[in-house]
Amino acid sequence: MKAMFRKLIEDASTWHWWREWILIFLGCIMMGTAFVFFINPYKFVPGGVYGLGIVLHNIFPSIQVGTFGYMLDVPLMIVALLVFGGQFGARTVAAALFTPGYMNLLTRAVYPNEAAVESLDPALLLNGQLNLSDDLLLTAIMGAVIIGVGQGIVVRQQATTGGTDIVAMLLQKFAGIKFSTGILLADGAVVLAGLLVIGFGLGTGEAGEKGWVLTLYSLITIFTTSRVIAYVLDGASYDKLLFINSDHHDELRRFIIEDLDRSATYIKARGMYTGNEREMIFLVISRKEVRQVQHKIKEIDPRAFLVVTDAYDTFGEGFKPFPSADVMQAE
């Protein structure tokens, strides 16, 4: 215990430690703000614990979305701590507890009275100054982008906000379901619940006009959020992977090494039809170099066979450095 306390004191004396915690809370604030201004008032259901909170709020309007977040997240975290032990650290617990509380406080600050807090009517949000009911697509995308950036920032600090991440981990452990598939199943169940409750009025008796359309916006929100999180975690990849099949290896080798200032790899290959063995060039370049390489190959060997595909991530000399072992990446 003394050693743990001593390590905490040592960590807290560094700017790196404070920076990580500041970024965690900044990410949580971005997420909570996006939900309050762009998601909750328009009854989008972007999966996750807070998406389920929006569904339940429509059935029990006196209970805020953030409060449902506590009611769902706390039991899940207790189960996760019992099952996974130390894998769930203080950062995840802090993020999961801070976000719903911040959402509740912000909701009460931007709506004029208790009735407005229960209805979450966008016409009453900031006294009608931020009513985007006439442009739901823009609202869904804005909310998704801000949530994605916020959640990506949190995950980059080796934390999560709990919720369906925990459900997916439990499904992976006890049902053998892949983590990404577990996330999809959990979020899909939440979106389906939103369709039944908000779209068709199950449990409320009040089916929204074209409420089923909100499900489509919810799916757009989920997709956009996932893409933004991936971008925040891994960045944009502009690298291209080339497979070059040609008989003019000497000219291509000089071009790659001297003009492009890169290297490549020869791969042993054999034609399926002819059965002839030959060497194929394996080359990774940036997107802006593709056109130059295509023209040069055509100039050197018009009969060459070229395949260009995306390289999801490229690490090593001339590209990105290898990530640390404790850095999370998007799936």
Block means of pLDDT (10 residues each) for the chain, 331 residues, are 61 81 94 96 92 93 93 87 71 89 96 93 90 92 94 83 80 79 85 89 71 87 87 74 92 90 89 86 87 91 91 68 55 47
> What's the order of all strands across the beta sheet hosting 305-310?
265-270, 277-286, 239-245, 305-310
135-173: string of b/e by CB count within 10 Å (b at 16+)?
Answer: ebeebbbbbbbbbbbbbbbbbbbebbbbbbbbbbbbbbe
Q: What is residue 7's predicted lDDT score, i.e. its pLDDT?
A: 61
Q: In this structure, what DSSP letter does residue 205 have?
A: S
Q: Which of 31, 149, 157, 27 has the alpha carbon at shortest distance from 91? A: 157
Q: What does pTM read for this prediction?
A: 0.75
Q: What is residue 180's predicted lDDT score, i.e. its pLDDT?
A: 66
Quote the distance between the C-alpha of residue 328 and its chain's center: 11
Domain 239-310 has what CATH class?
Answer: alpha beta
Q: What is residue 93's predicted lDDT score, i.e. its pLDDT?
A: 86
The CATH 3.30.70.120 domain(s) of the chain lie at 239-310
SS3 318: coil
For residue 86, how many C-alpha atoms fall within 13 Å in the half-sphere facing its CB? Answer: 0
Q: What is residue 50's predicted lDDT score, i.e. its pLDDT?
A: 93
Strand partners, 283: 242
Q: What is residue 330's predicted lDDT score, i.e. its pLDDT?
A: 45
Q: What is residue 10's predicted lDDT score, i.e. its pLDDT?
A: 67
Query: For residue 191, with 0-12 CB atoms within 10 Å meaning exposed, 13-18 middle and 19 or more buried, which class applies?
Result: buried
Instruction: Using only the alpha carbons of the chain, give its radius of gyration.
Output: 26
